Amino acid sequence: MDDLFDYLGAYLIGSIPMALLVLKLFKKRALPKKGKDLGEVDVWKMGLHLGLLIVLLDILKGASAVFMAHKLSPTDPPDMVVAGFLVLMGDRFPVFLKFKGRSNLCTLVGVFGALLACLMMK
């Protein structure tokens, strides 16, 4: 049962649209208009500090799912890999944006960094 919560949590963490949240908080307007991407590149155009914040939050989003899986079952590396995959799928096909996602390079960096860190802890 812990695995189910872990996997669902990883997907939901991945589904959080960080760029949209940051833009609503700092710019007081929403992105995107119809047909626009909701990624780091569009945020970079609005300011370097916002772009860096989005990159950092997306990296942390990927790492948090893997660390959550490690915390729930530290002796089961496949759980961490599946959680990493599901956070990437959540980022690519977010439930909160009607499964219209974007590329997930920064989240992928967070997932691989966390997997490496978890495997080095053993």
pTM across the whole model: 0.82
Per-residue pLDDT of 69-110, as tens digits, reads 888 888 888 888 999 999 999 988 888 777 776 777 888 999
For the residues 53-76, what does the mean pLDDT come to? 89
Spatial distance between the Cα atoms of 52 and 43, rounded to a whole number of angstroms: 9
For the residues 22-34, what does the mean pLDDT come to? 66
Spatial distance between the Cα atoms of 113 and 110, rounded to a whole number of angstroms: 5
Neighbouring C-beta atoms of residue 115, cutoff 10 Å: 21
Domain that holds residue 76: 2-120
Q: pLDDT-derived band of residue 34, with 50, 70 and 90 as boundaries?
A: very low
In the predicted structure, residue 55 carries a pLDDT above the cut 70: yes
Residue at token pair 């495997």: 119
Q: Which two tokens stand for residue 78?
A: 């496949």
What's the mean pLDDT when you consider all of the chain? 80
Structural domains of the chain, count: 1
